[in-house]
Chain A
Amino acid sequence: MNQWTLGPSLRTRRRLWAILAVAPLFVALSFLVVYPVGMLLLGSFAKGEPTRLLAALHNLSLSNYLELYGSAALYRALANSLVGCAGGAALALVVGLFFAWVVARTDVRAKGLIEVVAIMPLFISPVVASMAWAILANDRSGILNVVFKDLGLNVRFNVYSMPGIWFVLGVYYAPYTYMFLVPALRRMDPALEEASAISSAGAWQTLRRVTLPLIIHPLLSAAILVFVVTLGLFAVPALLAIPANIHFLTTYLFNLVTGNPPLYDKAAAVSVLLILLTLLGIFLQRRIIARRSVVTITGKSVQPRLFRLGRWRLLVSALVISYLCLTVLLPFLALLLVSIRQFIFIPSVASIFDTRFLTLRHVQFLWGHEQAFRSIWNSLYMGVAAALVGTALCFLTAYGIHRTRLPGRKWLDYLSVVPVAVPGLVIGVAYLWAWISFPVPVYGTIWILALAYVARFIPDGVRAAGVNLLQIHRELEEGSRIHGGTYWDTLWRVVVPLARPGIISSMILLFVLAVRELGSSLFLYTTDTIVLAVQIYNQWESGEFGATALLSLVQTLILVGAVLLARRYVLKVETFN
């Protein structure tokens, strides 16, 4: 029995409810995404600055595109971006899958701790991570290289290289893939794997032929998301690629926006290219999904089948500890060192411990800096706002895409994905002149930042919610409706509780991303609404490395605190379920 056997009036009412639920989403997404990106698109066909757009409207042309796409520099930047982000996504997938499998499908001890280790890199924003690794592993004076030299080892790392970028992108974006894969692995029906075991297939064969194919959708989804997100990243290429004279699309874009004169029209054209690349990625992803059933969560309650680690336990522990050292401990120590030293000249291991150069001057500088405290408060306030508003919007959007049969839901999907390809820098500019003339005074308030973040991270939130929802079979919802539940009842009492871990993950993700976000903040803040990421970036750009390192540690602690609190709540929910 399904909804088609019910009376026509009920069907109409259901459709009306669906439309009512989804229409506000279209409106919201249009405001947040279509209007600013539309201005951007128009700008790419116009000549001149955005403030002269109205005047330029009658003189639109393809000249920006022709000039741009005839330039070898663009293709070099494109190639570097594709190679860099693909490598990063591949490494992120491998690392994320390793952790997800260890946590969800093995009998490893201290599982809670390992879960924390797996997501810890989220606490460290890309600027901070790049800065820390530049200090640790630049080829001339990197601390690690100094240690190797003192130990007589003929090893040198150079983070200013494509492999260096793969490394930083890979390990710091692995949490994305991890967070997608854990729920999928946890809720898999073990019957298929048991069947495989009964048929005498070994553990590796089962993994390869049964487990992996079942999670191929979350795997590809995660890999594609990491790829397109890192395509729009500015901080890592700016700090690590430029010294090696490697240009990515985003640094190319930055040069266009901040050059003299700023070339917004060309910047808009480059942004359109980025958007097209993302749409291509999403299109590919949809084709892959269409070929496989992704249902692994059914109405029956399941216990995942755990793999016994046995003699592999030691190796797994070693890998987890290495990851923690690379992503958190070493960078943390490097930042701590920089924040308590007068200056960072470290010619030998012994000089690290030289107390003559210790100082509290950076602490004093920050303590007397009222703006630093304001930036912390603003980040917290706005991070929570973005997380709550964003998660609600993302969840409803994902539900609209995956759980209704409205004809427009494909467009909802594409709409929700567009911001991924628009780098923060450009979203910031687009928002600036999209909202500055708006009759309702949004510009200059903290709300424009929150709106920009929500818009910016809709894709992350919707993907996360979507992957989660897809794992839940419709039979659970239909069971609710059969028993007389309304549309909203079903949503609230059946879908939400099942999707709750995903919803919490979404909230954590949005909070963390909002607090870390730099690009879109740079053009939208004022002295009253300055946020932590901007404060850190301004200080870094001014060469205040000590104060930057300190504030980076503060930002990290804020994010750690938030995530630990939320994880505690999620674990409670999990055990209850």
Chain B
Amino acid sequence: MSRAHTWAVGLAMVLGLAAGPAMAVSLIDELGGEPLIQAAKKEGKVVVYTSNILSISRTLQVAFNKRFPEIAVELVRLGGGALHSKIMTEHAAAKLVADVLEYSDRGLIQRAMDRGIVGKHTPPTDGLYPAQTKVHGMIYPGSVYLYLIAYNPVLVPDPPKSWMDLVDARFRNKLGLVPAELGGTPWMTALFQYQVLGKNGESYWQKLAAQKPRFFTSAAPLGKSVVSGETPVAVALDVVSLEDIKQGAPVKMVYPPEGVVVIVFNNALTAAPKNPNAGKLWLNWTLSREGQEVWVKQVGGLSVRTDIAPPAGAPAKVNTWQASEEDFVKLRDPYTKRWNEIFGYKP
């Protein structure tokens, strides 16, 4: 099942502007109220296990500490599968020290939920997040990654303008991507290509495989290889290139009209946090207007909150796509196997 979702900039403008005191009050409301803030400050620390890209986590941490210097944020960062195994094992030995979990892979956090590792928490901003991006009362999309097309403008004077343009012969041997089986984010993208671009068939995969793309173990090195010129065009993650774009690096992004794949993060409180109030505050802040604006304005990413505008450089209307949870989990194994066969990826 595919979805299309369009963003209205006007709504953002109406909701975005509010004068000083009114803004301050609504921020405290969004954060969970003064008693929670005081209790969190007393705890003085929050431990976050995240698979978010490190520099992005640090940007969020710095911004959080600007508002709450009394609360130390300890970040433990690992890639999806590695983070999950650490969480599961620590939990099994009753030694899970995390207060907050931030997974990129819904399938993996589902397993954690099944084990009772994920706690219940409904942030004050719950109503502002669309139903398909959260699990009400438990999991919320603090960060959003987009899978789209990145290219090096110096080496590619005639860039692809759409997903269908990407499979044109002029990009043969010039593409890079992350194999579908290596993570939730590339798998979601492969599913989009199958269901939307291939119209529930393998045709797009076949065409993309004919481009003889180079494989990378993760999105970050792939993004850097676009900058270095090693991979002129890539099926890439936006967040990787955002910092480079700010620095004037030769990389540009294309938001294809057929759709941009949205991967919502899965932020949640743990079931038995050592710093429950600080954990709730971190979550609430991440999901608040202030936290989301750090994400959009400082990091340059997209927010799924209905009242926050897209980042500068993105089109006013970004056509986004998100897989159904059922498809994401059920189709993964057989489809990634088939993907490997078509692309000749031999793990």
Contacts and interface: CB of A to CB of B under 8 A. Distances in A.
Interface of A: 49-51, 73, 76-77, 135, 138, 140-142, 238, 242-243, 245, 247, 251-252, 255, 257-262, 264, 342-347, 359, 361, 365, 369, 429, 432-433, 436-437, 443-444, 522-523, 526-527, 538-545
A477 to B, nearest CB: 47
A245 B250 contact: no
Contacts of B53: 542-543
Contacts of B155: 347
Given A242-B217, A346-B228, A543-B219, 12 more contacts: A73-B346, A344-B228, A345-B152, A345-B250, A436-B89, A443-B93, A523-B82, A527-B76, A539-B54, A541-B218, A542-B54, A545-B224
B93 A262 contact: no
Interface of B: 47, 53-55, 58, 74-82, 84-86, 88-93, 95, 97, 105, 107-108, 111, 152, 154-155, 181-184, 187, 214-221, 223-224, 227-232, 240, 244, 247-250, 332, 344-347
A296 B84 CA distance: 54
Contact of A262 (B81, B90, B91, B248): B81
A551 to B, nearest CB: 12
30 contacts: A49-B88, A51-B88, A51-B89, A51-B92, A135-B228, A141-B230, A238-B217, A243-B215, A245-B346, A251-B347, A260-B107, A260-B183, A261-B107, A264-B85, A345-B154, A346-B228, A347-B154, A347-B155, A359-B247, A361-B247, A365-B55, A369-B58, A429-B89, A436-B90, A436-B92, A522-B78, A538-B77, A541-B54, A541-B79, A543-B221
Contacts of A135: 228
Contacts of B91: 51
Contacts of A544: 54-55
B85 A259 contact: no
Contact of A260 (B90, B105, B216, B224): B105
Contacts of A543: 53, 219-221, 223-224, 240
A245 B228 contact: no
Q: Which 3 A-B pairs have the closest CB atoms?
A: A258-B81, A543-B220, A51-B92
A523 B82 CA distance: 8
Candidate in A342, A343, A365, A444 with the most chain B CB atoms within 10 angstroms: A343
A112 B181 CA distance: 51
A388 B100 CA distance: 38
Contacts of A541: 54, 79, 218, 220-221
A539 B224 CA distance: 13
Contacts of B216: 242-243
A450 to B, nearest CB: 19
A257 B88 CA distance: 13
A434 B347 CA distance: 28
A523 B81 CA distance: 11
B215 A245 contact: yes
Given A343-B244, A539-B54, A544-B54, A140 B82 contact: no
B181 A259 contact: yes
Contacts of A251: 217, 347
B227 A343 contact: yes
A141 B229 contact: yes
Given A140-B229, A523-B85, A433 B346 contact: no
Nearest to A356: B248
Contacts of A138: 230
Given A252-B347, A543-B223, A543-B240, A259 B89 contact: no
A436 B93 contact: yes
A292 B224 CA distance: 54
A527 B98 CA distance: 11
A101 B150 CA distance: 52
A345 B88 contact: no
A522 B82 contact: yes
Nearest to A371: B75
A257 B54 CA distance: 21
A257 B83 CA distance: 11
Given A50-B89, A255-B182, A433-B92, A247 B347 contact: yes
Q: Which one of A252, A443, A544 has the greatest number of beta carbons of chain B within 10 Å?
A: A544
A526 B47 CA distance: 10
A359 B345 CA distance: 38
Contact of A344 (B78, B227, B248): B227
A433 B344 CA distance: 35
A429 B81 CA distance: 12
Nearest to B250: A345
A91 B249 CA distance: 39
Nearest to A523: B86
A453 B181 CA distance: 31
B215 to A, nearest CB: 6
B346 A343 contact: no
B82 A257 contact: yes
A538 B58 CA distance: 13
A67 to B, nearest CB: 13
A437 B90 CA distance: 9
Contacts of A140: 229-232
A68 to B, nearest CB: 13
